Amino acid sequence: MTTDALGQLDLDHLFHPSTDLRTHGRTGPLVWQRGEGVYVYDTEGRQYLEGMAGLWCTALGYGEPELVEAARKQMETFCYGPLFAGKANEPSIRLAAKLAEWVPIDGARFLFGCSGSDANDAQVKLIRYYFNAIGKPQKKKILSRGNAYHGVTLASAALTGLPSFHKHFDLPGDDVIHLTSPYHYRHAEPGESEEAFSDRLAEELRAVIAREGADTIAAMIAEPLMGAGGVIPPPKGYFDKIQPILRENGILLIDDEVVCGFGRTGNDFGCQTWDMQPATMTMAKALSSAYQPISAVAVPPFMYEAIAEASGDVGLFAHGLTYAGHPVAAAVALRNLELMEERGVMAHAANMGERLQAGLQRVREHPLVGDVRGESLIAGVEFVADRDTHERFPAEEKIAFRAAAACLEEGLIVRALPGDTIAVCPPLVISEAQVDELVEKLVRGLDRVERL
């Protein structure tokens, strides 16, 4: 089908998620046709370097024959079987066992889902179930943070800390409390060090706990490095300072590893990069390199045992998706993790991450750029009208969208995020030459952006 014909059908029939729907009605879609390695191609055959790994997810890149083969074989052998009522399939058992080797939570069990959002919804439900089970039913509130992104289903969207995900949806509701975002570049006082800023955030946490009562707060959810909210790494000392406060108050730490998990920040998980000791963990995206939709919640033994015991009241643990532990998704995720091990992808990604961060120093001096931040193979570039005062561009200038569009013209995909930031998050298998190409195209893209 021609590009024009596809574009018309799209405009007539497709409801695009997370899209400026009014603009889309005028511009129509950009339609991808195929991908290979770190490159994708549109319906006109034009090549782009996929600097965002799709949505932070195509870790092993495009067209990986081993993952295609894993899916094909599993579809042929056994295309579907539920995990309900104690039934199982081999790939989901083996994937859970493989995850137990990777995940730094001793004795964890893995509850599978289909997306990061449903997994974070499951986190909220598991937390409720757990505290009801241990006789603390008033412990229900969950702490999150401004700029957090945890998904779009009702509970996970409530956890998300971005206004556009709440307005018009009657969210976030009463059970989620958003703390100040750990966004040093925007929220630190002039001259305030990262450590001092972290101290202030820890004080805020203490004050919120004192105000609400520790007996009403069940958990805090945090991405190690915030992704979609602006690529915001934790300021120095942040997790060291807040974790003891959570522990003292019996508040469980939920670690959202949907973006950071599986090598993105230079270690297997973001919690290792920033020394977090979470109670539970959410994973998705790179878990299957996005070849299949699959997510997982790591549940520690103390929660599992309490939940299993309490579920006796109703005869079953009454939560589960039809496609939880889908054998094809599990087989692909398992092969994905095996390939990461066999090919040393974690070490390669850490090396490429160093090269990317070093290369991006070139962008720091660009007149439109206020801040360049990130860790290893994830980075954010924030634009400001005034580099000294950090004054923003007027919203109607849509500076980040225009910058992303300019990069696209150069054949590089980056993503515009709220807060005038563009994100870079390439597949983990990117080569040295491709990292250099990414930086070069980014610089050329930014040079195209005109001040209005």
317 CB-near residues (< 8 Å, 6+ apart): 307, 308, 311
Contact (Cβ atoms closer than 8 angstroms) between residue 133 and residue 389: no
In terms of Cβ atoms closer than 10 Å to its own Cβ (0-12, 13-18, 19+), residue 42 is: middle
Residue 21, class by beta-carbon neighbours within 10 Å (0-12 exposed, 13-18 middle, 19+ buried)?
A: exposed
Q: Is residue 115 near ligand PMP by the rule CB under 6 A? A: yes
Which spans in 234-326 are helix H?
Answer: 238-248, 270-273, 301-311
CA nearest neighbour of 447 among 356, 387, 365: 365
Size of the site for ligand PMP (CB under 6 A): 15
Stretch that binds ligand PMP, among 21-29, 72-80, 147-155, 349-357 (CB under 6 A): 147-155
- The residue among 53 and 352 lying less far from ligand PMP, judged by its C-beta, is 53
Q: How far is Cα 307 from Cα 28, in angstroms, rounded to an integer?
A: 48
- Output 368 or 422, the one with its CB closest to ligand PMP: 422
Q: Which of 98, 128, 139, 150 binds ligand PMP (CB under 6 A)?
A: 150
**Nearest residue (CB) to ligand PMP, 110 versus 149:** 149
x/- map, 263-302, ligand PMP, by CB under 6 A: ---------------------x------------------
Q: Does 58 bind ligand PMP (CB under 6 A)?
A: no
* Candidate list 151, 161, 230, 263; residue touching ligand PMP; CB under 6 A: 151
Nearer to ligand PMP, 61 or 230 (CB): 230
Q: Does 99 bind ligand PMP (CB under 6 A)?
A: no
227 in contact with ligand PMP (CB under 6 A): yes
Among 228, 303, 345, 379, binds ligand PMP (CB under 6 A): 228
CA 300, CA 284: separation in Å to the nearest integer?
A: 18
Gap between the Cα atoms of 378 and 225, Å rounded: 9
Note whether 336 binds ligand PMP by CB under 6 A. Answer: no
Q: Whose Cβ is closer to ligand PMP: residue 156's or residue 357's? A: 156
φ and ψ at 40, to 5 degrees? Answer: -125, 160
Residue 254 touching ligand PMP (CB under 6 A): no
Does position 229 bind ligand PMP by CB under 6 A? Answer: no
Judged by beta carbon, residue 60 or residue 368, the one nearer ligand PMP is 60
Rounded-to-integer distance, Cα 60 and Cα 173, Å: 38
Question: Least CB distance from residue 149 to ligand PMP, whole Å?
Answer: 5
64 touches ligand PMP by CB under 6 A = no
- Closest CB 283 distance from ligand PMP, rounded Å: 10
Q: How far apart are CA 215 and CA 217, in angstroms?
A: 6
For the bound state, the minimum distance from the C-beta of residue 385 to ligand PMP, rounded and expressed in Å, comes to 28
Residue from 58, 89, 92, 120 binding ligand PMP (CB under 6 A): 120
The one segment of 146-154, 209-217, 273-281, 440-448 that binds ligand PMP by CB under 6 A: 146-154
Q: Is 116 in the site for ligand PMP (CB under 6 A)?
A: yes
Which among 145-153, 207-215, 307-315, 440-448 is the span making contact with ligand PMP, rule CB under 6 A?
A: 145-153
For position 258 contacting ligand PMP by CB under 6 A, the verdict is yes
The least distance separating ligand PMP from the CB of residue 227, rounded to whole angstroms, comes to: 5
With the CA atoms of 209, 213, 218 and 221 taken in that order, what torsion angle do they form, in degrees rounded to the nearest 10? -20
Give residue 82's region: left, alpha or beta (phi > 0; psi -120 to 50). beta
Q: CA torsion 145→352→271→299, rounded to 10°?
A: 100
- The smaller minimum CB distance to ligand PMP, of residues 143 and 368, is found at 143
Distance CA 363, CA 348 (A): 23
Sole binder of ligand PMP in the list 38, 99, 259, 399 (CB under 6 A) = 259
Residues 356-415 touching ligand PMP, rule: CB under 6 A, are none
**Cα-based distances in Å from 293 to 38, 84, 223, 283, 285:** 20, 19, 20, 11, 8
Residue 410, SS3? Answer: coil
Give rounded-to-5 percent helix, strand, coil for the chain: 45, 15, 40
Binding site for ligand PMP (CB under 6 A): 55, 115-117, 120, 149-151, 223, 227-228, 256, 258-259, 284
